[in-house]
C-alpha cells in the first residue's frame, strides 16, 4: 500500500520514541513509512522529501527531532501538508530545547506539536486528521477511543474492589 503518513526522525536514535507512533498507525491500519533525515546533516534530502511528499500521496507528516529540533519546521516550510512535531528528550535539557524550537514557528509555517516524546499522540492526531475524510478510519478511531474509556472504567471498578478489601481487613 502507498503510505499516507510519513514518520521522519532526525536520527535513528529517535526510533525507540517513534515506534509508538508506528505501532498505533499499524493498529489503525494506516499505511505509513519511516525514514531518518536530518535538517542539519542532509538538508537537500529533507527539502526534496518535503517538496515531493504530497505528490507521492502522503497526507500527514510526523517529524521528530531533538536538541535544535529544526526538522519539523524545515519540512513544514517546504510542503503544504500538515506536519506534526514530536520533540525528543535529549541528554542536556530533557527535551525542553526541542519543544521550544518546534512550537516557536513563524507565522505561516505551523507545526502541530505534541508533548516531549509524545509520538503516540502525534499518531493519534494524524489519525484524527485522516478520519475527517475516511469514514472507515473514523469508525476504527471511535472504537479505539471507546476502548480507552473502557480501560478506565474497568480500572476504576478494580480500585473499588481494592478499597473494599482494605475496609474489611
Binding residues for substrate: 11, 14, 41
Helix (H) or strand (E) segment spanning residue 34: strand 32-36
Cβ atoms of 75 and 46 closer than 8 Å? yes
Of 73, 50, 74, the closest CA to residue 60 belongs to 50
Sign of CA dihedral 61, 65, 73, 78: negative
Torsion angle in degrees (nearest 10) through CA of 17, 18, 22, 25: 100
Annotated binding residues, written as ranges, equal 11, 14, 41
For residue 67, give every residue at least 6 positions away whose Cβ sits within 8 Å of its Cβ, in sequence order, or none: 90, 92, 97, 98, 101
Amino acid at each position: 500500500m502507498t503510505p499516507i503518513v510519513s514518520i521522519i526522525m532526525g536520527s535513528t536514535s529517535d526510533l525507540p520514541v517513534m515506534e509508538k507512533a508506528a505501532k498505533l498507525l499499524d493498529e489503525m491500519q494506516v499505511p505509513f513509512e519511516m525514514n531518518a533525515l536530518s535538517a542539519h546533516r542532509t538538508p537537500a534530502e529533507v527539502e526534496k522529501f518535503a517538496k515531493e511528499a504530497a505528490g507521492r500521496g502522503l497526507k500527514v507528516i510526523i517529524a521528530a527531532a531533538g536538541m535544535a529540533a529544526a526538522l519539523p519546521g524545515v519540512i513544514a516550510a517546504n510542503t503544504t501538508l500538515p506536519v506534526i512535531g514530536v520533540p525528543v528528550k535529549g541528554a542536556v535539557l530533557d527535551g525542553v530545547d526541542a519543544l521550544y524550537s518546534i512550537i516557536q514557528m513563524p507565522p505561516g509555517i505551523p507545526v502541530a506539536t505534541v508533548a516531549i516524546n509524545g509520538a503516540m499522540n502525534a499518531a493519534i492526531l494524524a489519525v484524527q486528521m485522516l478520519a475527517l475524510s475516511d469514514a472507515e478510519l473514523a469508525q476504527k478511531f471511535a472504537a479505539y477511543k471507546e476502548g480507552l474509556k473502557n480501560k478506565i472504567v474497568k480500572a476504576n471498578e478494580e480500585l473499588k474492589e481494592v478499597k473494599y478489601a482494605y475496609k474489611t481487613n
